[in-house]
Amino acid sequence: MPDSVKPANERSWSTFGGLVLFLLVIQTPFMALAQFPRTKLFSLFPPGGSAGSSQEVQLKTGTDLEGVGGLRFSHPGITAVQKYLEPAPTWPFPKPVEGHFIVTIASDVPPGVYDVRAFGSHGVSNARAFVVSDLEERIEAAANTDVDKATEISVGSVVNGTAQAGTADYFSFEAREGQRLLIDCHAERIDSRMDATLVLYDADGRELQRQRDTIRRDPLVDFLVPADGTYLVKVYDFLHGGGDEYFYRLSVSTGPYIDFIFPPAVAAGTSGSYAIYGRNLPGSSPAPDITVNGQSLEKLIMEIEVPAFVDQTALPVNSMVSPAESVLDAMSYRLATPQGTSNLVRLGFATAALVVEQEPNNDPSEANVLTLPCEIAGRFNNRRDVDWFTFDATKAAVYYVEVYSHRLGLPTDPYLLIQRVTEDPEKESGVEDVKEVDDLDEVGIDATYDSRTADPIFRFTVPEDGTYRILVRDLNAT
């Protein structure tokens, strides 16, 4: 059959000699990314500065950092400009110093942790942490890995350093008898790879304290100075790692530190008195019955005003929070004093009537009586403290029973037991267990954002009219 009268599809086959070749190219997102450079920032140094200052900051490690022309911060009061070399006979124009910037922090920038990103010809990088303090800042001496070459620092200052593999950094300071010094090392809390360890010595080389993993994986030394003199601090990575990504910020201060605020929840648009527990709280009274890592705390009653509007689309915090903590609608609070500004504490927003736990309630006969719905502000007062609550409910009513503790950033593992009080003569104890609830492991399956929590959550459908009771305890403190 002539081609002129063949069907179109048959002519096509004949034209290509009976062979059709399909070339199919599948380009995955990973292949696309591999073809183009993309700026990633792993570390910069120093990782912070003091409000009202300017300093040189260098991009230390990352990928595709060539062509970076600026830094962008999450606070408008922090700005950066490229550093330039002065003109020289061989180069009559200012020459940019690659990866070096002059960062200026306005005096009204509040202390806290902010985001910084590098941007340039390969786009905008990921965010890293940049810390603003209200203390004097300095850089460690390069040769402070021997005791006799310790970097001298002063009380009320921050020193920025980098751990080197297999070595330790040493710092010395003068202290006065009776001072309560807080020696705090920020590493994990500012995106560092360092698992920092602190060791405190007196002038004769006697070890006074050794701390690790006090605040998350970072160490905090609480030191009551016994006598005037020179003291020495040793800083190193617990696994003896090091490098540009093992940076840290070491502070020695008499400033305030907040361990917790009670109650830990607030009602939007209200004002009330709250008990602040911590160290170096001006105007406080001793709280000898409350200890943390063997250190007694102080108690300060403060009036706190709570905003009326809660933006649930934002995360109003300038400090590190874990993925599990990020689900909490909360306000941020810091205590400002003449000795400096405290660390940040988050206060959750209550969505129902707020009830403060009343001790003693360690026995079912002493259970606090509740009227539902409500939110309870409670506390594990000692290592084996348990709390009982009781309420009446009608059949088929539905309640969510949920504990916020681990999601407050605390090293707790809460446990719930719900019981029904019965009059069944076959029940010798007069109670029937309805549900035991421990960890909530079903969420957070994405390993890059692991929001799993040790807090128990239970949807409770009331099986019968009657009286019920709830036991709350911390499995980490049994």
Contact indicator for 264, 277 with CB cutoff of 8 Å: no
Q: Can you give the pLDDT at residue 331?
A: 87
- What's the CA angle centered on 248, arms 242 and 253, to 5 degrees? 145
Q: Can you give the pLDDT at residue 85?
A: 87
Contact indicator for 94, 87 with CB cutoff of 8 Å: yes
- What's the CA angle centered on 108, arms 114 and 284, to 5 degrees? 90
Q: How far apart are CA 56 and CA 46, in angstroms?
A: 8
This prediction has a pTM of 0.85
Question: Is the pLDDT assigned to residue 175 strictly greater than 70?
Answer: yes
Q: Which of 58-62, 149-153, 203-207, 380-384 has the lowest mean pLDDT?
A: 380-384
Q: Can you give the pLDDT at residue 7?
A: 42
Q: Can you give the pLDDT at residue 24?
A: 42
Question: 32-64 burial, b if ≥16 CB within 10 A, otherwise e?
Answer: eeeeeeebbbbbbbbbbbbbeeebebebbebeb
How large is the average pLDDT for residues 56-64?
97
Determine the number of helices (DSSP H) and then strands (DSSP E) in the chain: 2, 37
How many C-beta neighbours within 10 Å does residue 292 have?
Answer: 15
Question: Is the pLDDT assigned to residue 65 strictly greater than 60?
Answer: yes
Q: How far apart are CA 352 and CA 368, in angstroms?
A: 17
**Residue 373, preceding bond cis, omega within 30 degrees?**
yes
How large is the average pLDDT for residues 289-303?
92
- What's the CA angle centered on 235, arms 234 and 240, to 5 degrees? 120
3-class secondary-structure state, position 98 = strand
How large is the average pLDDT for residues 146-166?
96
3-class secondary-structure state, position 190 = helix
Contact indicator for 449, 384 with CB cutoff of 8 Å: no
Between the two ends of the chain, the Cα-to-Cα distance in Å is 92
Closest CA relative to residue 234, chosen from 209, 213, 214, 258: 209
Q: Can you give the pLDDT at residue 468?
A: 97
Q: Which of 71-75, 406-410, 454-458 has the highest mean pLDDT?
A: 71-75
Identify the band that residue 77 occupies on the pLDDT scale cut at 50, 70 and 90: very high
pLDDT in tens, 411-449: 899 999 999 998 765 655 689 999 999 976 544 445 566
> Residue 472: how many CA atoms within 13 Å on its side-chain side?
24
pLDDT in tens, 209-223: 999 999 989 999 999
Contact indicator for 451, 327 with CB cutoff of 8 Å: yes
Q: Can you give the pLDDT at residue 313?
A: 56
Identify the band that residue 2 occupies on the pLDDT scale cut at 50, 70 and 90: very low
Give the phi and the psi of residue 8 in degrees, each rounded to 5.
Answer: -60, -40
Higher pLDDT: 90 or 182? It is 182
How large is the average pLDDT for residues 101-118?
96
Identify the band that residue 381 occupies on the pLDDT scale cut at 50, 70 and 90: confident
Q: How far apart are CA 474 and CA 478, in angstroms?
A: 7
pLDDT in tens, 303-313: 999 888 766 55
Q: Give the DSSP H or E segment for 13.
A: helix 8-15
Question: Is the pLDDT assigned to residue 1 strictly greater than 80?
Answer: no
Amino acid at 31: M
Locate tokens 């570390």: which residue?
Answer: 43
Mean of per-residue pLDDT scores for the chain: 88
Q: Can you give the pLDDT at residue 15?
A: 32
pLDDT in tens, 6-26: 444 443 333 333 333 334 444
Contact indicator for 263, 247 with CB cutoff of 8 Å: no
How many C-beta neighbours within 10 Å does residue 226 have?
Answer: 11
How large is the average pLDDT for residues 273-287?
96
3-state secondary structure string, 269-304?
CCEEEEEEEEECCCCCEEEEEEEECCEEEEEEEEEE
Closest CA relative to residue 116, chosen from 20, 202, 44, 223: 44
Question: Is the pLDDT assigned to residue 90 strictly greater than 80?
Answer: no
Question: Is the pLDDT assigned to residue 29 strictly greater than 80?
Answer: no
Q: Can you give the pLDDT at residue 25?
A: 43
Token duo for residue 119: 């941007």
